């Protein structure tokens, strides 16, 4: 049933958003943690359609990317940031940009080897993070997506 629902969502997204020339593909954090409004705002500012997966849906996201021709960005929040690396290893073409927000300090979010543009924003949970990025300690984990939108505006 879960596979059928996933296929339906992919079909619906592909058919229902035929006018999309670009996508921002997001990955939720553990337990579905994600600020959908902040994500949609980010996608709108980038004139892109938004599509969200759970952090473990790496194959579904990779398949969608490989079946489309438009440009895309990857966006990972919290545990969702850990999905970015595995997706990059499975896709046939690289994203135009990668954004991670609130990655845990043990998550490798240094995408320099892929020769793509990326930004990382870390909160308190990423204090000892070795990957490059902006450390923000006065914003709670749950407000980081909103903070990053304000940062870019």
Instruction: Read off the pLDDT of residues 83-134 as tens digits, 9 standing for 90 and up.
Output: 999 999 999 999 999 999 999 999 999 999 999 999 999 999 999 999 999 9
Does the pTM surpass 0.85? The reply is: yes
Tens of pLDDT, residue by residue over 37-79, are 999 999 999 999 999 999 999 999 999 999 999 999 999 999 9
Pairing of strands 97-101, 118-122: parallel
Q: How far is CA 129 from CA 8, 21, 109, 141, in A?
A: 38, 34, 9, 15
How high is the pLDDT of residue 121?
98
Taking residues 1-15, what's their average pLDDT? 48
Residue pair 96/117 in contact (Cβ under 8 Å)? The answer is yes
Strands (E), the chain: 22-27, 49-53, 71-77, 97-101, 118-122, 134-135
Residue 2: pLDDT band (50, 70, 90) is low
Comparing C-alpha atoms, which of 30, 27, 148 is closest to residue 87? 27
Is CATH 3.40.50.1820 correct for 22-152?
yes
């Amino acid at each position: 049933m879960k596979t059928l629902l996933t296929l339906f969502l992919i079909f619906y997204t592909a058919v229902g958003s035929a006018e999309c020339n670009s996508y921002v593909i997001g990955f939720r954090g553990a337990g579905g943690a994600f600020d959908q409004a902040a994500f949609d705002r980010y996608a709108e500012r980038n004139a892109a359609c938004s599509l969200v997966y759970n952090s473990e849906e790496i194959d579904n996201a990779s398949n969608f990317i490989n079946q489309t021709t438009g440009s895309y960005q990857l966006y990972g929040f919290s545990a969702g940031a850990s999905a970015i690396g595995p997706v990059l290893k499975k896709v046939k073409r690289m994203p135009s940009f990668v954004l991670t927000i609130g990655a845990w300090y043990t998550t490798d979010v240094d995408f320099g080897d892929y020769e793509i543009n990326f930004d990382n924003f870390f909160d308190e949970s990423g204090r000892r993070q070795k990957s490059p990025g902006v450390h923000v300690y006065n914003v709670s984990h749950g407000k980081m997506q909103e903070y990053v939108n304000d940062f870019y505006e």
